[in-house]
Structure 1
Amino acid sequence: MAARALPTILVIDDEPHSVAAMRMALEDDFTVLEAANATEAWAHMEEHWVQVVISDQRMPGKTGIELLTEVRDRWPETVRIIVTGYTETNDMIEAINEAGIYQFITKPWHPDQLLMAVRNATRLFELARDHERMTLEMRYLGSAASAKLEDKRRLLQEGLGFDKVLRGPNSSLNTIIALARQYASFDVPVLITGEPGTGKTNLARAMHYGSLRADRPFFELNCAGLTDAALAAELFGIKRGAAAGVQSTRVGLLQKADRGTVFINGIDTLSPEMQMSLLRIVREGAFQPVGSHETLSTRARLLTGSHIDLRDAVAEGRFRSDLYFALSVTELQVPPLRGRPGDIARLAERFLHEAAEAHGKPVRGFSDAALDFLEQYDWPGNMPELRNEVIRMLIVAQDVTLGPELISRHILQAEPGDTGADRRAMDLGTMDGTLKDRVEMMEMRILRETMTRMKWNKSRAAAELGLSRVGLRAKLDRYGIEPHAATAEEE
């Protein structure tokens, strides 16, 4: 039987040592063509059946983006990768929109990272051709089952896809969503990083329902706090009699997914043993249920999430470098809530109406003053903390419009600012300045919180603080504390 021809890769770079380094990393697995400029690259494309093009961005004459844009127009099935030392957001969006870039590789790149990226790109090329073939077959078959499946997929995408990720028109999350849409359709690993509570699971779910697997199951598993035994049982399943009390065989998520998607969150907490097991899944799609000697395979797509930057864990020896490179073929960084101040009002309104419907309590919304306080807070607990605060406000509210007087004291006392409150200053031990300065800072915050909570009723506020009305007014004037424009002051 004749040996199968190696996939053909075209490397474009005007620096010979860069081309040589890429060839050394790839030549064992691929047929590597080389070009120093756009003219040579075009000649190779005309003559050979190229599956993947890797181009440097900064070259004399045409840039990598310009060249790959022309490649996309002439050979749309060829997968395009760009290598660049520039990672500005504008460059990234321009490349995605203009050239249909599959992946960015930043300099300096690691040979394993480049090899994994090209392997996945060739897999994507084959999958795209298979998908095109299947699409043609379905078009000619025209069966009712195919039409029903597409309708189901469309409804799932509309109900659980990217449109369900709430954000503003200028949200910093928009860049991430644009990249996630690109990655969703391709069967490659995606690493989603971000603080706990930033919505990594929602983004993974949207990617699943924005893909061709939308009609298959989606499962999420958070590793944080789970022992290796519990995690293995959940993920791989467990055989009957493998442990005390196990009376029947339990199917793991990798089997349940059945060509669906499994999102494994909190992989930064995995033990070395579980990291090795995960690496085997990524590389071979193979695993063994607990207590079984049988090796099973999975067709599920694997998405992973980390609460920290795994590059630091790799540098410290706490996370396997080969696993990191295997999982981070494509990577998304979800910003914390304090980095999305323009989204807080929309999120708060959604949480409010969801809670109102769940608890059967009529509500109209928040006052402008309440939204101002919510937007100026930094929300270290991210969306779960915001949701809890909204639910608490709804419970104690006596009106259909929720005002700032319902907000928790620590939020009202936080120092307002354009980028969110810095609540660390609430700890006197971390504040700078003299004792007098620190006491005045605390006094100012307590005054603002009390006046807001009392709806600017100076008599009630003065009574609670043990001040006369004249004394209270003097302190308000001294610190320049004034009511919000939307807050009605007492007559």
Structure 2
Amino acid sequence: MTILPTLLLVDDEEHSLAAMRMALEDDFECLTAPNADEAMRLMEENFVQAIFCDHRMPGKTGVEFLVEVRERWPETVRIIITGYTETNDMIAAINEAGIYQFLTKPWHPDQLVMAAKNAAQLFQLSREHDRLSLEMRFMGKTAENKIETRRRALREGFGFERILRSANSPMNATVDLARQVASFDVPVLLTGEPGTGKDAMARAMHYASLRSDQSYYEINCAGLPDDVFMVELLGAKKGAVAGSPGNRIGLLQKASRGTLFLNGVDTLSPQMQLILLRVATEGSFEPVGGTETLTTNTRLMAGSHSDLAGSMMQGTFRKDLFYALSATELALPPLRARMVDLEILTQHILSDLASEHSKPVKGVTNLALEFLGNYDWPGNLPELGNELTRMLILAQEPELGPELISRHILQADPSVTARPDPGEADVLAAEGTLKDRVEAIEARILRETLTRLKWNKSRAADELGLSRVGLRSKLDRYGVQQPGKSATAEEKD
């Protein structure tokens, strides 16, 4: 069933109302009123889309009535029917009542029907416009909320909270300084050994900066040939790179208004240092194969694996570039200098590995953590991640024990003996008699073998080609003792 649009017809002359109703009732639901007061009552009780109102009426005029309608029902289309054509009245009606159309008496029925259809269509279009405007405002707010939610998730997922550390970690001072520097739009130089987390720190600083709603990019310069690095950084014009059919957009353009982290700047060639100096000081560059100078508004962060001050002294790194990149310098400690963080780091890495490989684990035993804590981790966080991955793969129980740890880490552990336990290179280069140096290596082998075999002395003796008595003699000689057991318990074993 089709619902007809509702019209309100207002006229103090009864025959005029009847004539209008007769012309319109086939296409519209028509309400009639002889005066403004009755018309206002009908407006309050019905959903009216358009009004045809006589201008000259006793009491309130048509314009006065339609002014009130405009205030209360502004979407209703208002049409004046008048037998007079005074210009001043028309202007007043347009200004005060917002009249959509004038119809003059006598009107033709077709003219009246056409005006009514146009008014009904205008009403629907106005309602649809309002609906769409409301939806657009809602969508705008929804989009803003989604963007803000994404920004918050990025800040939480890549912010300083991701830099795991304990309450008394040596990393805390670096993080505190990074928080202060993050909101200042200046270049930052991050120094530290490979694997110390310079990329995570740079990303955290970006999401804590005023550019957090813009893009973040990073590239490792180490090992990249100059031609490849130039294309990645500067971009290239069509035809400048073999196999590339069009223009290539470089990171300096992609990261404009955002942040670009260049890790391994200590490996840059003299040519690339000169190009980067221009970017850092002028913000300008030319794409490969192009002559047009482009500009970028990129915040540069640089990472160095080695001491740039030493490189400057040797003449392998430009002083002006160093000062351009190091408005603020942050030094990240190696893993061996933050062993207080090892338990937190281990638990977090294992949790991620367990989810990735669908193999649930509880963690590592205290003894295993002790072994891991006495290794110097030259490969820093990536090496720790690799070792924990290996342990997870080999594990048969939910808690990872020391027998899963790699031999070179077990052999480096000094916690199970009163004697110092130098590394192999230290032993070979140390002073002392041949006998002393051989005994130091022998003690390391004994500790590693027993730990790997869970202190099963029979199996250890068989593997090492010793008798049980001979093994015990060597253990006593070198002071090698099972962790957690007293000397008395060892004698009874």
TM-score range relative to shorter protein: 0.5 to 0.7
Distance 1:228 1:469 in 2: 62
1:196 matched residue in structure 2: 194
What is residue 413 of structure 1 aligned with on the other side? 411
> Could you tell me which residue of structure 2 aligns to residue 262 of structure 1?
260
What does residue 439 of structure 1 align with? 438
Map 1:20-419 → 2, pairs under 5 A: 144=141, 149-416=147-414
Question: How many Å apart are 1:474 and its aligned residue?
Answer: 1.6
Question: Equivalents in 2 of 1:218, 1:486: separation in Å?
Answer: 53
Partner Cα distance (1:459, 1:177) in 2: 50
8 Å contact kept, 2:402–2:452: yes
Q: Which residue of 2 aligns with 1:452?
A: 451
- Residue 464 of structure 2 is aligned to residue 465 of structure 1: yes
Contact 1:176 1:333 in 2 (8 A): yes
Q: CA contact under 8 A between 1:414 and 1:426: conserved in structure 2?
A: no
Question: For residue 295 of structure 2, what is the amino acid of its counterpart?
Answer: S
Contact kept, 8 Å, 2:412 with 2:423, in 1: the verdict is: no
- Aligned partner of 1:478 in structure 2 is 477
Q: SS of the counterpart of 2:300? A: strand
For residues 298 and 485 of structure 2, the distance between their equivalents in structure 1, rounded to whole angstroms, comes to: 53
The corresponding residue for 2:94 is none
Is the contact between residue 371 and residue 413 of structure 2 (CA under 8 Å) also seen in structure 1? no
Which string of whole-angstrom CA distances, capped at 9 and with x for unpartnered residues, describes residues 433-458 of structure 1? Answer: 11100111011111111111111111
* Cα distance change of structure 1 residues 359 and 166 upon mapping to structure 2, 3 Å threshold: same
Distance 1:417 1:229, change over 3 A: farther
Give 2:469's aligned amino acid: V
Tell me how far apart the structure 2 counterparts of residues 148 and 459 of structure 1 sit (CA, whole Å).
64
User: What amino acid sits opposite 2:232 in the alignment?
Assistant: E
What RMSD in Å do the two structures reach over aligned CA positions? 2.2
Q: What code does the residue aligned with 2:201 have?
A: L
Is residue 426–residue 442 contact of structure 1 (8 Å, CA) maintained in 2? no
Residue equivalent to 1:31:
none
Distance 1:323 1:465 in 2: 57
CA distance, structure 2, for counterparts of residue 221 and residue 422 of structure 1: 40
Whole-Å separation in 1 of the counterparts to 2:190 and 2:317: 16
Unmatched runs of 5 consecutive residues or more in structure 1: 1-142
Distance 2:190 2:256 in 1: 22
> Greater shift after overlay, 254-263 or 448-457?
254-263
Q: How far is 1:486 from its partner?
A: 8.4
Identity of aligned residues (%): 59
- Separation of aligned partners in 2, 1:303 and 1:259: 13
Which whole-Å CA distance do the structure 2 matches of 1:379 and 1:452 have between them? Answer: 19
Give the structure-2-normalised TM-score: 0.67
The 3-state SS of whatever aligns with 2:218 is: strand
CA-CA distance at 1:153 after TM superposition: 2.8
Unpaired segments ≥5 residues, structure 2: 1-139
Alpha carbons 1:356, 1:363 under 8 Å: kept:
yes
Q: 1:423 to 1:336 in 2, by over 3 A?
A: farther
The CA deviation at 1:146 is 6.1
1:306-330 Cα distance to aligned partner (Å, 9 max, x none): 0111111111111111111111110
Task: Measure how far apart 1:405 and its partner are.
Answer: 0.6
- In the comparison of the two structures, how many residue pairs are matched? 347
**What TM-score results when the alignment is normalised by the length of structure 1?**
0.67
What corresponds to 1:115 in structure 2?
A: none
Q: Distance in 1 between matches of 2:240 and 2:382?
A: 37
What amino acid does structure 1 have at the position aligned with 2:220? Answer: N
Per-residue CA shift, 1:191-248, capped at 9, x if unaligned? 0000111110010011011112222221110110011111111111111101332222
CA distance in 2 between partners of 1:149 and 1:179 (Å): 28
Counterpart secondary structure, 2:177: helix
* Distance change (3 Å), C-alpha of 1:447 and 1:373: same
Contact 2:424 2:441 in 1 (8 A): no
AA of the residue aligned to 1:462: A
In 2, Cα distance between equivalents of 1:159 and 1:422: 40
Per the alignment, do residues 485 and 426 of structure 1 end up closer, same or farther by CA in structure 2, a change over 3 Å counting? Answer: farther
Q: Per the alignment, do residues 440 and 270 of structure 1 end up closer, same or farther by CA in structure 2, a change over 3 Å counting?
A: same
Q: Per-residue deviation at 1:266?
A: 0.5
Structure 1 residues 446 and 426: CA distance shift in structure 2, 3 A: farther
Please say if residues 194 and 307 of structure 1, whose CA atoms lie closer than 8 Å, have aligned partners that are also in contact.
yes
Amino acid at match of 1:361: K
Superposition deviation, residue 429 in structure 1? 3.0
2:185 is paired with a residue whose SS is coil
Shift of 1:428: 4.7
The 3 A distance-change label for structure 1 pair 329 and 417 is: farther
Name the CA distance, whole Å, in 2 between partners of 1:445 and 1:281: 53
Displacement, 1:355? 1.3
The one-letter amino acid paired with 1:167 is R
Deviation at 1:427? 5.7
Aligned AA (2:454): K
The residue number in structure 2 matching 1:10 is none
- Aligned residues of 1:368 and 1:486 also touching (Cα < 8 A): no
Aligned to 1:262, the other structure's residue is in SS state strand
Deviations 1:266-292 (A, max 9, x none): 111111111111111111111111111
1 CA distance for matches of 2:405 and 2:144? 52
- Larger radius of gyration between Structure 1 and Structure 2: 2
152-161 or 189-198, larger mean C-alpha shift: 152-161
Once the two structures are superposed, what CA deviation does each residue of 1:413-471 show, in whole Å capped at 9, x if it has no partner? 114279xx986444653132111001110111111111111111111111111111121
